A and B are shown apart, each in its own frame.
Chain A
Amino acid sequence: MPTGILFGLPQGQLEAFEEALAVGKEEIELTAKDERKKARLANDVKGFLALCREIPRVLRRECDSVLDLMAAGGIEDYGATGLELRRSFAKAIEILNGVQELVQTYLSTGSSLAEANAHVEVIEGVKQQEYEFFAHWPDFRQEDIEGALSDFQHGDCLEIDEAFAQAKGISKDKWSVLVEREIKRRNS
């Protein structure tokens, strides 16, 4: 089971992060008319945004760790591993949305922030990253075994040639030709 999920942040630290964001928002509202303080706040907000730009890389490393385990046959429970990774994505999106709220509060004071649009792209990128990782994730369940045995008993399973022909969207004969061609290509 991979460890070190998203910065290794336990729930308490996430709450601390959220508190920091809430304080930041409050400070922005209180100092909206003080130009010197606004400049300092701009740097703080930019600091949050810079941290957020690291999040996709952190998630990528976690996904890579899971794939490395998968390659080594080291995943003992695909359900639990997937769930743990999903929690990381959920935590990341929670943080990113919190920073987005902070950015909106900052912008509502009439200030501008060149990095604001890029942050929205980071959020969308993380959502896409999660979608792509879990699109074909093995979600194995006990009922799949029972379903397989039942399908087999009822003659509903496909012979392997037929199954791959269907997967390719061609006839079984064309599949055989394709397999022959690929095998020849490998041996040439």
Chain B
Amino acid sequence: MPYRVVLRPSVAKAISQWGLSDFMLVEVYIRLREQLAADPTRLLMRLTEPFDGMVYGFHMIDPENRLCEHFFVFQVVFSQDEQTLIVAKAGYERREGL
């Protein structure tokens, strides 16, 4: 049974500012909704500084522009109902001209 995934409104706003193509936006959506939701214990990485919690990160070369690489990382917390993953915050980097 996959987890339900919810995002803080500030995360939606942050994503809107990344300037992603439709392809990449859908990719991020699929990674969160399908991959992370299906297997969070495998995909989440534990950090202890500067906060004690979990992050989910991935990177990929843009298939529509092979000179562009995208790096994503999300701070994720399990809800108390243990059925929902809350995306608390997000970070993004882009490298152009590999």
**Residues of chain A whose beta carbon lies under 8 Å from any beta carbon of chain B:** 63-64, 67, 70-71, 73, 76-80, 133, 136-142, 144-145, 147-149, 151-153, 156-160, 162-164, 166-169, 178-179, 182-183, 185
B52 contacts A by Cβ under 8 Å: yes
Do A145 and B29 contact each other (CB < 8 Å), given the known contacts A71-B59, A79-B50, A140-B75?
no
Contact A76 B49 (CB under 8 A): yes
**Residues of chain B whose beta carbon lies under 8 Å from any beta carbon of chain A:** 4-9, 11-18, 22-23, 25-26, 28-29, 32-33, 45, 47-53, 55, 57, 59, 69, 71, 73, 75, 77, 79-80, 84, 86-93, 95
Residues of A within 8 A of B50 (CB): 77-80, 140-142
Cα distance A138–B45 in the bound complex, in angstroms: 15
Cα distance A147–B9 in the bound complex, in angstroms: 11
Residues of B within 8 A of A182 (CB): 22-23, 26
Contact A145 B53 (CB under 8 A): yes
Q: Quick one: which of B13, B48, B84 contacts A152, CB cutoff 8 A?
A: B84
